[in-house]
Every structure is written in C-alpha cells, then in structure tokens.
Amino acid sequence: MKPTGGVPRRPVPAAARPASAHHPAAAGHIAGGGGAPPAPAARWRLVIFDFDGTLADSFPWLAAVLNDVAARWRFRQVAPEETEILRHASAREILRHLRVPGWKAPLVARDLRRRMAADIHHIRPFAGIDGLLRELEQTGLILAIATSNSADNVRAVLGAQALRRIHHLEAGVSIHGKGARLRRLLRRTGVPAAAAVYIGDELRDIAAARAAGVTAAAVTWGYNRAEALSRARPDLVFERVADIRAQLLPESEP
C-alpha cells in the first residue's frame, strides 16, 4: 500500500527489497507488451513517471511501517507469507484483502504520507534516476510526474536539482484517478497521446495509461511483480533504468 491521495496503495509487509533480478541495477532487457504499438523513439515528446516504486525506492520503508499503520487504523495486518501473493494483486484486490473500508482509506493515506514525511531521510531515488532525468530533459523531452504521494515528499526525495528537470507535477492522485490526471497533463502540455508515455510499477498505472490513451510502460523493480505486470500486457517493460534511456534515447549508450 503506497501513500495515496485518496485510497492506500500496495501493501508491502515486512518483506525485503525487490529480488535482485528485478532491481534496476540488475541485468535486463526491454520487452514489448500486447497493447497498441508504442511511438517511435523520435516521436516521444512527453514522458510521465510514477513516483513510489518507479523513481523512489520506498518499498523497504513501507514494509517497515505498514503493520503499525494497520494496528492504528484497525485493518488487517499482513503476514510475511502473504507478501508475494499481494504483489501479484491489483489495488482493488489488496484493499479487499486488507478490509479497508472506503471511508477509512483517506485517513490511512494521510497517515502514511505524514509518516513518510517524518522518515523521508530513509528514502532515496533508485540508482541512476538523477542521470536519467538529466539526459531525458537535455534532449528536449517534457518530463512530468503523476503520483499518489504528496508534492512535498516528492520534492524531498528527488531534491531541488532533479525537480528542476520536472516540468509538471501531479501529486495527491487518488487510487483510481491517474487516468484523469494523465489526460490533464496532455491538455496542459498540448502533447497528443500518441507521443506520450506513462512509466509506472503497478497494474493500476498500466490501466491509467490505457484510459488516457498513452503508451503504457512498466518497470519491474517496483511494487507489482514482473509476472503480474506482464499479464496486463504493457506496451513496454523496463528491467533496468538503463533500459528507459535506451528505448527513449536510442542514440545514447546505456
């Protein structure tokens, strides 16, 4: 469960970081999905990122605090043996499993964001993210973030230098509100959907991209496991940060 603007996200019980095979520093490749063919690299104009699990390595932090939050708000705690099952589940399935009623979800989300702000020094961007943002921005691409986390937490983790490369920040998005925020980014930038890509780590990120008509790209180092993401047939799959650079900037070296 990530900190969200309206409903808590992915539960990450007492587990460790993603397996090394799926860490952005591990070897990997780009695999196409089953959606509409992505735009040629030369046509990309707008690159939108999710934050938690995509740019920020917040999984270990959430693993450490989730059951404390569950105890306070009286929803179901997650046993260690449930971790992998839940990492293959959708956000709706997870909320049902945790027995979080709709009225309580915004309260839980607010608590998670507050706790993260207090512990923000424990959360860092994934290795290579700062360099990736710099290279993408230097080529003239418009960069944006659409996240359920707070703008303050995003700024604190990425830092002022990286944030200067982000042209648009849509924060505090509700669990099923990303599609609308992506469409708003298209209107604000004037970029057609065919020239935009949304990069996230969850099944709901893929669904949001499809709802907005943009290319759906998934990273395998985040909250949902690669196997779960592949069943949703994203247009692009990235196993390393370098894969994003290679796909969006084909003339550059990984």
Annotation says 243 is catalytic: no
- Closest residue by Cα to residue 227 from 242, 217, 237: 237
Half-sphere exposure for 170 (CA within 13 Å, toward CB): 23
- By annotation, the residues acting in catalysis are 50
